[in-house]
Structures are given as structure tokens and as C-alpha cells.
Amino acid sequence: MSHYTKSPLMGQMMNQPLLISSIIEHADRYFGDNEIVSRRVEGDLHRTNYRECHARSRQLANALQSLGVKMGDRVATLAWNGYRHLEAYYAVSGSGAVLHTINPRLTPEHIAYIANHAEDQYLLFDLTFLPLVEAFAAHCNTIRGYILMCDPDRMPASSKIPHLMCYETLIAQHQADYCWPLFDENSAATLCYTSGTTGNPKGALYSHRSTVLHSYASAMPDALCVSGRDTVLPVVPMFHVNAWGLPYSVPLTGAKMVFPGPALDGKSLYELFESEQVTFSAGVPTVWLGLLTYVGQNKLTFSSFKRTVIGGSACPPSMMQTLRHQYGIDVVHAWGMTEMSPLGTACTLQSKHGALSEQDQQAILETQGHVIYGVDMKIVDDAGKALPWDGKTYGNLLVKGPWVISSYFKNEGGEVLQDGWFPTGDVATISADGYMRITDRSKDVIKSGGEWIGTIDLENIAMAHPAVLQAACIGIAHPKWDERPLLIVVKKPGMDVSKAELLEFYQGKIAKWWMPDDVVFADALPIGATGKILKNKIREQFKDYTLPSA
């Protein structure tokens, strides 16, 4: 880049590009026998290893080349976490094409929009999604062929999908003699669209360099701490921000990989954790809610599960404590976003914190943590002025780093950076030690009498009540205060709590003026395609709600 000063004396080390193919090559060469276990759509457990994964990725790369896929072309997937999806991760990016992972929980219209926007050339998909693909295929203008990831005997006798091929038949026609090409590490590798809760979804286009750097960084001990001694079960889907980079960081370390496929309910997950002796996992809070409910109802314990990363939404402290104290599972609270590949911060303690009381340590562990080297952050006011790191002042959170987006795919939305920093849309505090705490998404903050009320704190307190399963807090228009908090609560099955009891539970835990003005009990909360509570849907639902105080 032109604004860098060139030194008269350059280093004399190999200038080897950081390419995704090098990860699977490494895993094959040094950890070839290490296992990849997948629960398949068919219901059975499939076993393979990194050697076979590498061979089959090269067969697929050869197959894609024979279909005319060129460097830079987008190849989409619509698939669960499984070995074939992993093969596509390496075959597509490794050959210089761009892997576009599509979230199957989106509507057919939404999927057709992003497939057309991405100009996808081929789509690889799991059997589960046959009806979904049939619903949108006619609306996709650029897809030349559809590859169903199944054995030949599972292919449908007839289908409305044009140019439908069988994955296993296709790769069986090709050898594993493919040689991964060398190219500029800044070339595009994968494409992931943001959830698009407001406006059209926008694409984050990751490069080989950003992905490999993120893989190194995210595996570090104070980040996800992935090692060759782990058995890793990524619950976080490979169709959402590359499963937080685990399809790269796990093979990089040689850890055993366990894919849950479509079975993400508490019972199926628990059985897989136990049968494969999983040590480490990662997922959003709603997934752990399902697992903990199942384990609690059946009075079960975990025999190998020791650590999990929770992120995507704020992890309620009550969930963290249940996992730690009842099941002996350490929680690493992490924060990031699609635009950050996704990892920005992770929460671990430092030696100096050893002298703190358990309560003070817990208070630190409940924050979203410190940045991983590579990422830098700051909080600013609305005028862009940097705010102090005192753990109290909150402001707009901005980040930068080599795996943070610089612009969206096709420059959608125009210039996104502010003086070289990416505005995350989150509101946060940062402590003197550099521990960051998200107080809210800026569009979710409740503005009451000119002051802000952070909804995450209010939700976390409600979730700590023994009868509460889920809670969401939104601002309701108020004639005097502008907005006031309304709490919507889902009770645990068979448990009861009244509005008065819940409000009493808040006493002494928050400033008086933060107290929710009303509580509404609901059967369920709307959950979006990435497992997060959809606040915009709740706001829509309650748009005509009148608070008793209004």
C-alpha cells in the first residue's frame, strides 16, 4: 500500500502467501489419521480423517474445474456442519474460487436475492434442503448447476431443480491428483452475508490472508484455545461466519473434529458430546439453553466436556455460572461479528487477577473480554471523540485489524470506515485493563429522559431468576420519558413467577430509573436465522403497546 514507507533494508524471509489450502495440506501431512466425525442428515455417524478430507477436497477441486469454475467465481453451499461441507470449504477456496455459505434459515426469496447478488455459479446442498432449493432455484439467474451432497442411492427420482448432480458420483469421476494453486494471499476466499435485519443483506468478503491470520489468532490460548489435545464440536454453524473459523483452526491444530449435522436439540447434542468425548465446543446462548434444559431435566452430567466459547449474543451470567458450578465447564465469553471474521474479543483472566476474590473474577469473566492481538478497539461519542476507558463511560464501539472488513462486497453501502475504523453498531464500555463490555446494540438502546438504558443488563438480571427461561427488553414510547423499558419473559416449563415478584427481583440490582415499567409473559420469543432474539420483531409486535405509566 502506497502510504507505507519502504525501508532501504528489507527482510530476507520467504514470502510465502497465506493460503487456506495450506491448512488442509498441513492437517493431512501431520495429523492425517486424526478423526472427523459427522452426524449425517441420514441420521448415522460417519467417520473420516484429515487425510481423506484432503484427498476428497482435491477430487472436488478437480470436479469444479471440469465444470468450468474459475478463480474468483462464487460457489455456494447450503449445508449443515459435516464432512462434505468441510471438503467444500477447502476445495472451493483452495482452488481460488470463492465459497459463499448461505444460511438455510433464510426465506427462499432472501436466498434467491443473495445468490443473485453474489452471482453464484454452483450450489452444493444437503438433502434436508431439497424442498428449499426447489422453492428458489427458478429465481436464481446465475447458478449453472446444483450438487446434492449425498450418496447416489439418495438422489431424488425426479426434481424441479435444473442441472442436478450427485456429489458422490461427481467426485468419484475425479482423481485426487489436484495441485493447489499459488496466488496472491489477498485474493477473495469466502463470502458471508450479514443477517440483514434492516435493509438488504450485505456481503463480507474474506481473503485468504485474513482467514489464515484469523485462524492463527483465534486458536491462541487466550482466544478459543484450540489444541491437538481437544475434541471440538462446533455447534455454531458453518453457514454463519465460517463457524467462527473453527473449520480452519481445528485442522490447523490437528484436534479431532465432531460435526453435529442437523441434530442441534439438547438430547442429540448431549449424546454426541458423550459418545465422542468432546472437550470443547462453541455456540450462541440459545443452543446452550436447549442443552442445559435437557441435561437438567434428565439429571445428567458431562464426562469430558470442559470448556465452551459462548458468543453471538450476550451470555447471561446465570448461564455461565450454571455451566461452571453445576457442570464444571468453563465459559469463554467472546464477541465478534460477520464483518470481523468474526472474532474480536474473548474473555480470559491474567495472572494479576489471581489475587482477586471469586466474585471480582466473575465480574471480569462476564464482560466480552479483551481484544485478540491483531484487532484494536476504541469507544467514541456521536461526534467521533474517543471516550475514556473507565469501565463506566459507554460509547460507540469501533474496531480495526487485518480480519476486519474494509468495504462490503460490490461496495454495497458505500464507504463504511470512519478514519480507518469500522463502526460496529454496538455500544460498549472498556475498563482501564482493556476489558470490553457490550451494553447494547445501538439500535436496541432505550433512551429514557435523555439517558440510555442498556437492555442486556436488564435481560441478564431477569435470566438470573430461577423461573425465567428467556427475557428480552425493548423500549416503548412514553409521553414523558421518550421511551421506557418493557420486559418480555418466557417462563421455564412448570415454573411460575408473577410480575410483582420479578420486579422485586430487580430491587438493589439497578438504578431505580432503569426499572422496567411493565412485564409481559410470552410462550416464546422470535429467534432469527443466526440464533439471536429478534428485537425488531418484538418491537413490531408491541408497537401499539401502552405502558401503565403512560
For ligand AMP, the closer of residues 40 and 333 by Cβ is 333
**Cα–Cα distance, 489 to 467 (Å, whole number):** 10
Q: What minimum distance in Å lies between the beta carbon of 457 and ligand AMP?
A: 11
441 counts as binding ligand AMP under rule CB under 6 A: yes
Interacting residue with ligand AMP among 121, 281, 286, 338 (CB under 6 A): 338
Q: What minimum distance in Å lies between the beta carbon of 342 and ligand AMP?
A: 5
Q: How many residues sit close enough to ligand AMP to count as binding (CB under 6 A)? A: 20
- In the region spanning residues 385 to 414, those forming contacts with ligand AMP, defined by CB under 6 A, are none
From residue 420 to residue 439, the character string flagging contacts with ligand AMP as x (rule: CB under 6 A) and all else as - is ----xxx-----------x-
Which sequence positions are flagged as catalytic? Answer: 194, 339, 447, 452
Q: Which stretch binds ligand AMP (CB under 6 A): 34-42, 216-224, 333-341, 411-419?
A: 333-341
243 counts as binding ligand AMP under rule CB under 6 A: no
For ligand AMP, the closer of residues 444 and 517 by Cβ is 444
DSSP string, 84-101: HHHHHHHHHHHTT-EEEE
Q: Which residues contact 12 (CB under 8 A, 6 or more apart)?
A: none
Give burial (CB, 10 Å; 0-12/13-18/19+) of 15: exposed
Interacting residue with ligand AMP among 39, 40, 202, 333 (CB under 6 A): 333
**Cα–Cα distance, 89 to 190 (Å, whole number):** 9
448 counts as binding ligand AMP under rule CB under 6 A: no
For ligand AMP, the closer of residues 180 and 408 by Cβ is 408
> Which amino acid, 390?
D
Q: What minimum distance in Å lies between the beta carbon of 446 and ligand AMP?
A: 16
Question: Which one, of 481, 439, 484, lies nearest residue 460 by Cα?
Answer: 439
Residue 155 C-alpha from the chain's centroid? 31
Q: What minimum distance in Å lies between the beta carbon of 38 and ligand AMP?
A: 24
206 counts as binding ligand AMP under rule CB under 6 A: no
**Cα–Cα distance, 64 to 41 (Å, whole number):** 24
Question: Which one, of 177, 219, 252, 254, lies nearest residue 22 by Cα?
Answer: 252
Cα dihedral across residues 23, 151, 128, 258: positive or negative? negative
195 counts as binding ligand AMP under rule CB under 6 A: yes
342 counts as binding ligand AMP under rule CB under 6 A: yes
103 counts as binding ligand AMP under rule CB under 6 A: no
For ligand AMP, the closer of residues 34 and 368 by Cβ is 368
Interacting residue with ligand AMP among 368, 396, 429, 460 (CB under 6 A): 368
Q: What minimum distance in Å lies between the beta carbon of 310 and ligand AMP?
A: 7
Q: b/e string for 491-521 if b means 16 or more Cβ within 10 A?
A: bbeeeebeeeebeebbeeeeeeebbbbbbee
**Cα–Cα distance, 85 to 91 (Å, whole number):** 10
DSSP string, 253-280: HT-EEEE-TT--SHHHHHHHHHHTT--E
185 counts as binding ligand AMP under rule CB under 6 A: no
Q: What minimum distance in Å lies between the beta carbon of 126 and ligand AMP?
A: 22
For ligand AMP, the closer of residues 96 and 369 by Cβ is 369
285 counts as binding ligand AMP under rule CB under 6 A: no
453 counts as binding ligand AMP under rule CB under 6 A: no
Q: Kindly report the length of the chain.
A: 550
Q: What residues does 400 pair with on adjacent strands?
A: 376
- In the region spanning residues 307 to 326, those forming contacts with ligand AMP, defined by CB under 6 A, are 311-314
Q: Which residues contact 110 (CB under 8 A, 6 or more apart)?
A: 196, 201
Q: What minimum distance in Å lies between the beta carbon of 194 and ligand AMP?
A: 6
Residue 402 C-alpha from the chain's centroid? 18
Binding residues for ligand AMP, per CB under 6 A? 194-195, 241, 311-314, 333-335, 337-338, 342, 368, 424-426, 438, 441, 530
